[in-house]
Structures are given as structure tokens and as C-alpha cells.
């Protein structure tokens, strides 16, 4: 794990284990955290291996790392993280296709959307395989097009 991830996980583990602040600071101190010039003990003063050891102790006490954020549909099904962004892209595309503006989309098909995205989004292949940056870039490109055509989204 990298340092940034460990910095995020330690307070989460503290909260989930319902540790008192003093207990948390003493755990950090036991694993190598040094007090700063004001006497505060912080994880920022620890080496990577010390942070991993501190997290390991918290895991022994019952902390479990959960996988990334999950959204749920009203019926309780998990939503893949791409789904809301893909829906946004398709909605913007259909708004542009319904617009009567001369510069708007003439062909509202999925094939035309794919063709547009391949031309305007760096290294784009398919919507289900796109990464966060590609999906966000696609949304921004379509929003700009909506603004040029005076389409409210």
C-alpha cells in the first residue's frame, strides 16, 4: 500500500474500532510516530513500514478493509461505478439528438456516440471499458457541445 492510502485508512480504522484519541495516538507512538515540536503525535512522522505495522495491529483488533465505495439502486442492487457516468453520457447525447439546433447531433444512435467519443476522448475504445478520466472527459465534451447548441442539461 502507498503512504496516502495508509493515511486514509488509519483514521477509518480508528473510527470503526471506536478507539479513543489517546489510545490511537499511543498506538501510533508504539509503532514509531515521534512527537513534533508542539508534542503532537502524528502518523506523518512515520515511515511506510511503520504505518503498515500500525494498520496491521488495527486489523488484528478487528478492522477490515472494505472494497471501494458502492452505490445501491432503490431495489438494493449494487451499481457499478461506471453506470451513472455512462447514463449521463447517453442522456447528454440524446438531448443533443433531440435538439433542433443546426450544429447538434444528426444521428442519435449508439454507434454515432461511440464514433464521437473515439474522435474526442483520448484512447477511448468502449464505454464499459473506459476509465474515470475518459468518462469525465466525455461528459465535459458533451456539456460543452450542449452549451454551444443552447441545450439545457
Tens digits of residue pLDDT in 107-119 = 999 999 999 999 9
The total number of structural domains in the chain stands at 2
Confidence of residue 58 (pLDDT cuts 50, 70, 90): very high
How far apart CA 135 and CA 7 sit, in angstroms, is 28
At residue 75 the predicted structure's pLDDT band, cuts being 50, 70 and 90, is: low
Of the pLDDT bands very low, low, confident and very high (cuts 50, 70, 90), residue 147 is very high
Domain ranges, residue 8: 3-60
Residues 20 and 87 placed together within one structural domain of the fold: no
Query: Does the pTM of the predicted model rise above 0.75?
Result: no
Mark which of 40, 60, 80 sits at the end of a domain.
60
Q: What per-residue confidence (pLDDT) applies to 153?
A: 87
Task: Give residue 35's pLDDT band: very low, low, confident or very high (50, 70, 90).
Answer: very high
To which H or E segment does residue 72 belong? strand 71-72
Decide if pLDDT at 81 tops 60: yes
94 pLDDT tier (thresholds 50, 70, 90):
very high
Residue 92 falls inside a structural domain = yes
Task: Give the confidence band of 66 by pLDDT, cuts at 50, 70, 90.
Answer: confident
Q: Is the pLDDT of residue 69 over 60?
A: no
Clarify whether residues 93 and 49 are in a common domain: no
**Mean pLDDT (whole number) for 71-94:** 82
Can you tell me the distance from the alpha carbon of 79 to that of 70, in angstroms, rounded to the nearest whole number?
Answer: 7
As given in the structure block, the three cell numbers for residue 131 are 476509465
Judge contact between 84 and 69, C-beta under 8 A: no
Q: Identify whether 85 is part of a domain.
A: yes
Residue 135 above 80 pLDDT?
yes
Query: Are 78 and 18 found together in one domain?
Result: no
Give the separation between CA 93 and CA 117, rounded to whole angstroms: 11
Non-local (6+) Cβ contacts of 139 within 8 A are: 85, 88, 89, 92
Q: What percentage of the chain carries pLDDT values higher than 70?
A: 92
Amino acid at each position: 500500500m502507498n503512504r496516502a492510502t495508509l493515511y486514509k485508512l488509519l483514521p477509518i480504522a480508528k473510527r470503526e474500532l471506536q478507539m479513543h484519541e489517546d489510545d490511537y495516538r499511543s498506538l501510533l507512538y508504539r509503532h514509531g510516530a515521534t512527537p513534533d515540536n508542539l508534542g503532537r503525535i502524528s502518523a506523518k512522522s512515520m515511515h511506510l513500514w511503520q504505518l503498515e505495522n500500525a494498520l496491521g495491529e488495527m486489523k488484528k483488533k478487528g478492522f477490515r478493509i472494505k472494497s471501494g465505495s458502492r452505490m445501491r439502486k432503490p431495489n438494493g442492487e449494487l451499481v457499478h461505478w461506471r453506470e451513472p457516468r455512462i447514463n449521463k453520457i447517453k442522456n447528454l447525447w440524446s438531448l443533443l439528438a433531440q435538439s433542433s439546433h443546426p450544429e447538434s447531433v444528426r444521428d442519435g444512435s449508439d454507434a454515432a456516440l461511440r464514433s464521437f467519443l473515439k474522435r474526442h476522448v483520448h484512447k477511448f475504445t468502449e464505454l464499459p471499458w473506459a476509465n474515470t478520466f475518459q468518462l469525465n472527459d466525455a461528459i465535459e465534451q458533451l456539456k460543452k457541445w450542449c452549451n454551444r447548441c443552447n441545450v439545457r442539461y
